[in-house]
Chains A and B, each alone.
Chain A
């Protein structure tokens, strides 16, 4: 079943002193995300990721187009009890404790009093916040606040979870925790739609990614496919104090790092390169085919294409 269906959703703002100029924030966006999928929405800052999420949350209103979540229009009040949302750099009511905050959001989400407290305690334990549950949020660190943010997004056990830059500003440990949580959500069968500009996170977590730039969706693809494409090159790593002359003549791009050499060369030269290593009596460490990375896909999608970018620069200022 389709979890999120975005049908030509578009947003422009009126800017300038007299509010007569229209600034396009999101070009007509068409995107479908299946239930149980983890979808990464990639793009540089100001690309339109947050605008898309705000449109789906009903925080801003579309100029044109519509969207459905779990088959319901986004302005259908029933949708809201099925979704969870973590905004970018969230700020919560800092006069409340983590327990009070989760209880408050549980109330607003329509959770029955019976079972709500137990669920709140369960979430606090899951996020590792049990010891600080009674402390006011103004005393929380950024990492702790992010965990509270994730807890509030799923306290009511939603089917679809939207996360806006969930790893932004976190230390490596915090990022690891958030990644684990998203993995858990996936194993629970939740649909996760998250925006990020950290490609390694997207590569590790997502089933599919979409790249957005200048308010325009530039491409959508399955991570497994995008990162499995061979480039017709192999990478050879071996022990040697310098790059053997025979390898350079095979067209290898090589660099010495300590007592190791890392060389990348065309796949058809693989046997000849191994022969050079045998001849020179050098010890091979690894030989792997070079695969395309998500980064290459991302950069390729962000690269300006003549006609489109002329048009987009015109659109942005109109």
Chain B
């Protein structure tokens, strides 16, 4: 990695870690994992299912909230506070700034997810008293959640490169919700004909397919995740976020910082 991107990424990570909001969200996630344990104890024979479902859903939701709320401010906050001026007056390319910011936030989310994952596995150990082979698939579900974060961060960064923080949050969250229903949208597109069908097909394939990245229910039931899906999802998430980042760079490259 280019060293300047690394410095910007590390500074972004350091800022997020020193931000108390991030700590609060981790605390909330841990609390939710605690709630999962309680629910698990009152459920009969489905403790594992409840803990995995609740724990991973909490990891995903808290991560998405962090990704959106920090992601939308990555560029706009720097412009508003004019911290960007002293960065871009140095030998730093605008694209390096955007990519560095992206890596900084995704790095923060990876660390955050890692800490939350420890909470989920501790909860699993608490209810089941031992780990089983099928618990390994929880790691795959966590990996897919991180891939979701990559896309959400990239989208937040893309929208914030030309829009206000509030509108960026609305756009990103809307795309997350629509993308989580992408499979249903594709099903709807298949049974619809004419202009409506073509429009539904276009939307279904343009919005990020978050539903393909959600295997929480599957792993909660102990089902395996096919290796092909892991490969496809990895390539898809990387390409989609790369395209969103490229869009953000293209817009930011020509923006006047008034």
Contacts and interface: CB of A to CB of B under 8 A. Distances in A.
Interface residues of B, number: 26
A214 interface: no
Nearest to B80: A91
Contacts of B7: 104, 107-108
A109 B257 contact: no
B258 A77 contact: no
B88 interface: yes
Interface in A77-102: 77-78, 80-81, 83-87, 89-93, 95-96
Given A77-B93, A107-B3, A87 B85 contact: yes
Given A13-B256, A13-B258, A108-B7, A93 B89 contact: no
Contacts of B3: 107
Most chain A CB within 10 A, of B7, B82, B84, B89, is at B89
A61 B256 contact: yes
A54 interface: yes
B163 interface: no
B228 interface: no
A95 B18 contact: yes
B90 interface: yes
Contacts of B93: 77
Contact of B91 (A77, A90, A104): A77
A95 B14 contact: yes
B85 A92 contact: no
Given A77-B93, A104-B7, A107-B7, A59 B88 contact: yes
Contact of B11 (A61, A93, A153): A93
A110 B139 CA distance: 39
Nearest to A84: B89
Nearest to B258: A60
Contacts of A95: 14-15, 18-19
Interface string B238-258: 000000000000000010111
Contacts, number: 78
Main secondary structure, interface of A, reads mixed
Contacts of A59: 84-85, 88-89, 256-257
B90 A105 contact: yes
A108 B87 contact: yes
A195 interface: no
Given A59-B89, A95-B15, A54 B257 contact: yes
B43 interface: no
Interface in B55-100: 81-93
B171 to A, nearest CB: 21
A84 B11 CA distance: 20
Interface in A27-55: 54
B141 to A, nearest CB: 33
Contacts of A85: 85-86, 89
A108 B81 contact: no
